[in-house]
Amino acid sequence: MENHFRALEQEINNLRAHQKPIIELLKKSILLKEKFVNKAKWVEIMTAAGLSKEDMMKWHQKFEEMEPEEHQKFLESLDITQDEITAIRSL
């Protein structure tokens, strides 16, 4: 049981490590002003970083939990529809 909790804690720390630079960019409005990435490119980046679809879902869940307003801004910056944003935020 203790090993399971340690593994979960490590997974959460990994997800937070992926989120932190994005949140900082959003706070500086770099992603929002530049629009240098769309959804397809973002998925490609996350996949190249070693995240599975399940990891990406967890990443979004934690982003939403920790920084809901910044998560909304980030999703909008990817030029996806409001319906898709709503679906992602409700994961």
Query: Rounded to 5 degrees, what angle do the CA atoms 74, 56, 81 make?
Result: 45
For position 68, what pLDDT does the model report?
A: 94
Query: Rounded to 5 degrees, what angle do the CA atoms 25, 38, 91 make?
Result: 80
* pLDDT < 70 positions in the chain: 25-36
Query: Model-level pTM?
Result: 0.65
For position 22, what pLDDT does the model report?
A: 72
For position 28, what pLDDT does the model report?
A: 65
CA–CA dist 30, 17 (Å, integer): 19
For position 51, what pLDDT does the model report?
A: 84
